[in-house]
Homo-oligomer: A and B are copies of this chain.
Amino acid sequence: MGKPMAIIGAGNGGQAFAGYLSLHGRTVKIFDVVQNTVDKLTKLGGVVLEGHSDVTGFGKIELASTDIGKVMEGCEIILVVLPSIYHKDMAKKMAPHLKDGQIVVLNPNASLGPVEFKNTLKECGCTADIIIAGTSTLLFACRAIEVGRVEVSGQKASLSAAAYPSKYNDLVAEKFADILPQFNFRDDILRVSLDNLNAMMHPAPTLLYTAKIEHEEDFQYYLDFTPSQGALVEALDAERMALGKAYGLELRTLVDEYKNTYETSGNNMYEVITNAISAYTGIKGQKTMRTRYLMEDIPYSLVALQTMGQVAGVPTPCISAVITVARAIIPEMDEGRTRKNLGLEGVDKEAFEAMCREG
């Protein structure tokens, strides 16, 4: 059975991981703050996984609890499966319970998630010798139809991940080799942060959809993209590419990324998005501005890229402009992963690269 694994967060993704890992023979413990969810999972004794996963059926859960210490105890691997807006608070909650040798993976990390997590642990005085890592995206496209029953609509064959620092990539990869070989621990958290395409695809187009959203019109988020939305995403992507270059990372443009990943065609962002019919049919637009597309992807993705720019001395005027406009509209939005909040004031590019690569 191997050592038990802890899953932090029993939402769609957390329940999917619980069922999946259990069906693959692991002992699984799961934490959530919602007592009702935990009670239901305890009563059911596990999760039923359905749909397009390589395993389906009932996966047993050893322990579902609101006691994070009990869930983490004795687990070598801890998967945090939460929106990034909760990462910092969760780091504070986990800090007193972390033990030497544990590995914490943020699924997904948004951008610079492990940097925030580690900095928060440090602020909490946590001295446990652990490794933090992050993935670029979630393994599953899934939703919990009800607590204890998860429908998987897609499972990725591979996704980029990195330990922070990346010198631990091989060590972490070895631990995941027999359970989650899809996690491709390579490069570093800088690259994984730039691979976070939500930063490009969510906030800026959402702002240009504002009037439609607030008039509660029905629309398809991707397939109704317009040329100006495409142009703005391209401008953001040019800054993402410049960040990659500054940190010595060769990135593919988003247009090329789309052509390689999706069934689509076109010469620019607008075309490759609106031609990605099979991938995007049915993904609806929002009816309010206060969704994760802004509330999470601005503070925990775009702000992190802005921070990467500040540290490297790379201007990111479009990224900053989108952040500024979004904050004017939603003043209560989290500050997020600013240079200060990540403890990176006074840290320059070379020092930051060393932090991400050598530790």
Tell me which residues across on chain B come within 8 A of A228, comparing CB atoms: 210, 214, 289, 329-330
User: Is A325 a contact of B328 with CB atoms below 8 Å?
Assistant: no
**0/1 string, A215-233, CB within 8 A of B gives 1:** 1000100001011110110
User: Is A328 a contact of B235 with CB atoms below 8 Å?
Assistant: yes
User: Is B214 a contact of A227 with CB atoms below 8 Å?
Assistant: yes
**0/1 string, A6-50, CB within 8 A of B gives 1:** 000000000000000000000000000000000000000000000
**0/1 string, A284-324, CB within 8 A of B gives 1:** 00000100000000000000000000000000011011101
The count of residues in chain A whose C-beta lies closer than 8 Å to any C-beta of chain B is 31
Tell me which residues across on chain B come within 8 A of A214, comparing CB atoms: 226-229
User: Is B235 a contact of A211 with CB atoms below 8 Å?
Assistant: no
A197 contacts partner chain B, Cβ-Cβ < 8 Å: no
User: Is A325 a contact of B321 with CB atoms below 8 Å?
Assistant: yes
Count of chain copies? 2
User: Is B229 a contact of A210 with CB atoms below 8 Å?
Assistant: yes
Taken together as a complex, chains A and B put the C-alpha atoms of A224 and B214 apart, in Å, by 10
Partner of A226 from the list B211, B231, B322, B325 (CB cut-off 8 Å) is B211
Taken together as a complex, chains A and B put the C-alpha atoms of A324 and B317 apart, in Å, by 7
Please give the distance in Å from A112's CB to the nearest CB on chain B.
Answer: 22
Tell me which residues across on chain B come within 8 A of A183, comparing CB atoms: none
Please give the distance in Å from A288's CB to the nearest CB on chain B.
Answer: 10
Tell me which residues across on chain B come within 8 A of A212, comparing CB atoms: 211-212
A207 contacts partner chain B, Cβ-Cβ < 8 Å: yes
User: Is B318 a contact of A325 with CB atoms below 8 Å?
Assistant: yes
Partner of A325 from the list B209, B215, B224, B325 (CB cut-off 8 Å) is B325
Please give the distance in Å from A108's CB to the nearest CB on chain B.
Answer: 26
Tell me which residues across on chain B come within 8 A of A226, comparing CB atoms: 210-211, 214-215
A283 contacts partner chain B, Cβ-Cβ < 8 Å: no
Apart from the given pairs A211-B211, A211-B219, 7 other A-B contacts in the complex at a CB distance below 8 Å: A211-B226, A211-B229, A214-B229, A232-B325, A232-B328, A232-B329, A325-B325
Using CB atoms and an 8 Å cutoff, list the residues of chain A in contact with chain B: 204, 207-212, 214-215, 219, 224, 226-229, 231-232, 235-236, 289, 317-318, 320-322, 324-325, 328-331
